Amino acid sequence: MKPVQIALPDGMPVLSRGKHRNPRSGGCFMEFASYLAGESWSDHPACTHPVLASLARMVNDCTSDDGRSRLAVLIPSVIGLRGDRPQIETLVSLRAAAAALPVVSVDRQRALAVGILSCERNLKRLGIDTPETSERIHGALRQAPDAEKWARDFIASVRSWSHSKFTPRTADSILRVSVQGIAEACSPDPDARLHDVLAGAIADCRAVLAPDPLSAGISDAAVAAEAFAAPSRRLR
């Protein structure tokens, strides 16, 4: 479900880059998630899967000041998305890389094409080969055929590649190249693309970690409106 944009209550601190000591000095995406979840103020809260939280921090920091407020409606939807399902790292990485590949610079395209092929290999290892993930992989690669050819040639030249593992460090590298690449790309409205990457990754995680159709059907906008109201009153 695509989140509906809502106006945040007056008095709610504006999302901003980096870490903040407390809500009165502002906050980033994940700091407000920790606040709404009732945890200690932190940009690494326990309420969200570490890879999804990492993507949220990167998107928060790489979105422009004007565009960052659009991310706020997504904050409540990351709360409770945690667990040890092994495909989460790969799905979040694939979501970001597939969105970035068509618009980033050539060097980044090559790195991301290798990353996408790594995601494809790891999903197959995990026994996950759905039409949706297949189309995301091949749809992205079709938009950068030169990068795909370079990546396949590179992989063929590295004998150890077939034995390498998809680790949290692999995911972090893919996310950083993707998010920074989108933010710096000469493309229309990079803020919107970053927003959609995060929203899509949240949906991917929700499908795996919270498949209950009743909870999945709740409007993010409605949750945000209710969740933001109480903190807004407390901060005044």
Q: What is the distance between the alpha carbons of residues 85 and 201, in angstroms, rounded to a whole number?
A: 14
Q: What is the distance between the alpha carbons of residues 159 and 182, in angstroms, rounded to a whole number?
A: 31
Rounded to two decimals, the pTM is 0.83
- What is the model's pLDDT at position 235? 39
- What is the model's pLDDT at position 95? 98
Q: What is the distance between the alpha carbons of residues 107 and 66, in angstroms, rounded to a whole number?
A: 28
- What is the model's pLDDT at position 103? 96
The Cβ of residue 201 has, within 10 Å, a number of other Cβ atoms equal to: 28
Q: Please report whether residue 15 resides in a domain.
A: no
The domain tally of the chain equals 1
Select from 50, 24, 41, 55 the least CA-distant residue to 173.
Answer: 55
CB 183 within 8 A of CB 82: no
Q: Please report whether residue 45 resides in a domain.
A: yes
Q: Please report whether residue 218 resides in a domain.
A: yes
- What is the model's pLDDT at position 98? 98
Give me the domain span that covers residue 76.
23-235
Q: Please report whether residue 1 resides in a domain.
A: no
Q: Please report whether residue 14 resides in a domain.
A: no
Strand pairing partners for 15? 27
Q: Please report whether residue 86 resides in a domain.
A: yes
Q: Please report whether residue 12 resides in a domain.
A: no
Q: Profile the chain (236 residues) by mean pLDDT over runs of 10 residues.
A: 45 63 75 89 92 96 90 92 93 98 96 97 93 96 97 92 87 97 92 96 92 44 48 38
